[in-house]
Structure formats: C-alpha cells, structure tokens
C-alpha cells in the first residue's frame, strides 16, 4: 500500500475536460448551481462513475452518491467529495478538484485490483457556493438535517426561479431520502483558497478544522427625494447609513484580530438614479472567526453599529441567515491525512480552513478530515484561480492513502 499512487495525468485530463463546461473567456468557469451547465457537469461525472463500475444514487435535494462496493457492503462507507457548482466568475479547481479526486481514487483502486473492507463513495453536494440560491452548502445542510428540505425547495434566485423547479429541470430531483446515513469517515480534498501553503512552501495542508461563520442580510430604508431641492439636513439617505455600516463591518474585522474576517460582498441600491437620494439599500455581511466567543462578539458589535444608524431616522432590518460554529475535525481522520502525506513523502503542515466546506456540515454526523493543496497567490472565487498538476496529484495521493486507511478499519 505504501507505494500506491494515482494517475496524475488522468486526474488532470478529467479536470481539464470538466472545466470546458461553463468555460469563460478569461479562463475560469461559470457553472452555477442548478443551471443547465451544472446539469451537464453532473451528467459527465455520472457517466465517468458508471464507467468505473459505481452505482449511483441521487437524493431529493440533488446530492449524487457514487458507490464502489467493498468486501462487506453492510458496513458504513468511507466517503469523499465536494461540489461541481461554481461562482459566476469561478475557477477550475474550487470544489471540482475534490469531486474528481474521489473519482480518481476509485479508478486507481480498480486499476490495482484493490478491494477495501468498506464501500467507498464519492459525493457531489448540491449548491455549495450559495451564490445563486442562499445560503451556501444547501445540499450537505439538508443531508445532515440543518436545513429543511421544503424550505430549500421554496428558495428563489434573483430572477424568481424556484429551487425545486430548477433542480427538476436539470434532471436531478432524486427520489431517495435526503439524508447522509451512516458514514464511517468523510474526507474532502480542496485547494486552500488562501496563501499560507504557498508562503510556507508546503504541498499539503493537514486541516485541523474551520472558522466559524455568521451571515447577515441587512436592509436600510430611508426616503427617496430629489437630489437638488432636498436640503442636506433633512435627508434620510439610505446609502449614507449603509456606507457607515460597511465601514463598521470593516472596522470590526480589524478590531477582532487575530483570525477575524469581515466582508460586505453584495450591495443593492434603489432606485439607483443619479439625481435621486437613495431610499433603500440591501447588502450582505459575512463574519468569520476560529473562536466562537469572538464571533459572537463580532455580531454584538454589528448590532451596536446598527443602533447608531437607526438613531438617524433610518429603518433597519437585520436577519442572520446562516450560522456555522467553528469546526474541529476528527483526530483519527486528521491522523489518516498526516499518515497519507508521510506515505507519499510530501511536505505538510497543520492549517485551519478560512472557508466553509461541505466537510464542515458532515463533521457534525461523521468523523471528518480535510486535505489542502496550494493555489497560486491564494486566489479563489476568481477566473484566474490556478493550481498545478503536481499539487493536485499530491493531494489526491494523500486522499487515496487516507481513504484506504479508514476503509480497511473495521
């Protein structure tokens, strides 16, 4: 087992082929959840898995499970996977690298005639990105019982299109229960989406856990009025209030170091006319911190900033739409990743994920671990997102060893 290795050229070719579905002119990918392109990507994955001898199950929220049989199929499987959906200006590796690495593990086990004690499964989780339908990580969230299926079905995108209808339209409204079931271990391999591995010149990140997250939707309502005749002192300018809150969000991120991140990523102004005072502004807030107490303190600081703006004649609505506490991954799975890196002779370091992943959801029900590989300049959610074939091969080799370790632990 020590010298087992995946076919890096085959993995890379699969990544290149999948990247053609939704390819953008700038070299990235736009394959948003439940679009026709997402359906095409799913279809390709299913064809590849069936060719590798896997059985396919699709659940009611569209999660895909591709299973390779083990010696004892009554045992809980060892799973891996990630997502195929992307940001509107996404890259070629975020999510899809984890999915196709799982497929490559199965292909490698087939090539070598290795039969594991437990079944092995590769999963595609629905709508991890959350850019078309919020919040993020919907598929894994439903599978662990964090999100209600009917509420997810009722979600609409910015064009008013319904989640359930769009899922059915691409052919992935499955008839299986949207529950993850018993899982012996779950692994997710992913590009880091940050600069630490590259800065430290390490090939593998042994992920210890993930930052906690709180997402908010905020709306500020004032009064629309003519930009010329309306005196400054009588204005109820929603954009001015929103701008103060954006500055407050940034200040909170700086005040709660080390470890804090604070972002306003979406912003909508109405009526968005040059000579009309804005009457309504809606925007998002994303808070992250590895310490749950500090994350709660960041929320309290935001609430205090909102009180200041409300006192200026503006109406505010603040909705916390998502909360994910900090995650600590399973010691046995972390150790399996460490052993996999050592078996492959790779430079590795301990690291904490700054991003949310489906693995964070699954960790609430099953032993879970993650593997990171570097991405150029730490850039992700961007068309210039880049990873090397050598690093992708290395990450997949660690995944191979970690999965075999857990799949033969009975």
Q: What is the per-residue pLDDT across 182-207, written as a single tens digit (0 to 9) for each?
A: 999 999 999 999 999 999 999 999 99
Q: What's the pLDDT tens digit per position in 270-280?
A: 999 999 999 99
What is the rounded average pLDDT of the residues 116-133?
97
The answer to whether 100 and 18 are in contact (CB under 8 A) is yes
Q: Can you read off the two tokens belonging to residue 203? A: 């090939």
The pTM assigned to this predicted structure is 0.83
The answer to whether 168 and 351 are in contact (CB under 8 A) is no
Band (pLDDT 50/70/90 cuts) for residue 1 is: low
Mean pLDDT for the chain? 96
- In the chain, the percentage of residues whose pLDDT exceeds 70 is 100
The neighbouring-strand residues paired with 190 are: 372
Range of lowest pLDDT (33-37, 235-239, 248-252, 310-314): 310-314
Question: Does domain 8-211+326-407 correspond to CATH entry 3.40.630.10?
Answer: yes
What is the rounded average pLDDT of the residues 98-113?
98
Q: Coil, helix or strand for 308?
A: helix
Residues contacting residue 238 through CB under 8 Å, at least 6 positions apart: 220, 221, 222, 269, 278, 279, 280, 281, 314
Q: Domain map of the chain by residue range?
A: 8-211+326-407, 212-324
Q: What's the pLDDT tens digit per position in 203-215?
A: 999 999 999 999 9
E strand map for 48-133: 55-58, 64-68, 78-82, 120-124
- The phi, psi pair for 124, rounded to 5°, reads -110, 115
CATH class, range 212-324: alpha beta
């Amino acid at each position: 087992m020590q010298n087992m290795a995946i076919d890096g050229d085959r993995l890379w070719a699969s990544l290149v082929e999948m990247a053609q579905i939704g390819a953008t002119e700038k070299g990235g990918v736009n394959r948003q959840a439940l679009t026709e392109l997402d359906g095409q990507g799913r279809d390709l994955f299913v064809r590849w898995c069936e060719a590798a001898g896997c059985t396919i199950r699709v659940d009611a929220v569209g999660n895909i499970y591709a299973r390779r049989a083990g010696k004892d199929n009554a045992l809980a499987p060892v799973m891996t996977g990630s997502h195929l959906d992307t940001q509107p200006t996404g890259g070629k590796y975020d999510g899809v690298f984890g999915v196709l690495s799982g497929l490559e593990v199965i292909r490698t086990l087939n090539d070598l005639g290795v039969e594991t004690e437990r079944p092995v499964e590769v999963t595609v989780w629905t709508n991890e990105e959350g850019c078309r339908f919020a919040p993020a990580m919907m598929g894994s969230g439903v599978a662990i019982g964090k999100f209600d299926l009917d509420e997810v079905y009722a979600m609409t995108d910015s064009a008013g299109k319904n989640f359930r209808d769009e899922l059915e339209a691409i052919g992935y409204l499955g008839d299986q229960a949207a529950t993850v079931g018993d899982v012996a271990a779950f692994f997710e391999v992913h590009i880091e989406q940050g600069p630490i591995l590259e800065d430290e010149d390490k090939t593998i990140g042994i992920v210890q856990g993930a930052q906690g997250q709180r997402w908010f939707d905020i709306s500020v309502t004032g009064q629309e009025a003519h930009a010329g005749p309306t005196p400054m002192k009588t204005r109820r300018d929603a954009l001015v209030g929103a701008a103060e809150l954006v500055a407050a969000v940034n200040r909170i991120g700086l005040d709660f170091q080390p470890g804090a991140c604070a972002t306003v990523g979406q912003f909508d102004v109405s009526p968005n006319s040059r000579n009309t005072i804005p009457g309504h502004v809606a925007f998002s807030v994303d808070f992250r911190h590895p310490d749950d107490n500090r994350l709660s303190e960041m929320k309290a600081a935001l609430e205090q900033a909102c009180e200041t703006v409300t006192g200026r004649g503006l109406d505010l609505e603040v909705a916390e739409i998502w909360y994910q506490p900090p995650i600590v991954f399973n010691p046995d799975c972390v150790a399996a990743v460490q052993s996999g890196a050592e078996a492959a002779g790779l430079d590795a370091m301990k690291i904490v994920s700054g991003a949310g992943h489906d693995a964070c959801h699954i960790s609430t029900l099953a032993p879970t671990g993650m593997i990171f590989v570097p991405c150029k300049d730490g850039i992700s959610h961007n068309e210039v997102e880049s990873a090397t074939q050598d690093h992708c091969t290395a990450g997949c080799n660690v995944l191979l060893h970690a999965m075999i370790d857990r799949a033969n632990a009975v």
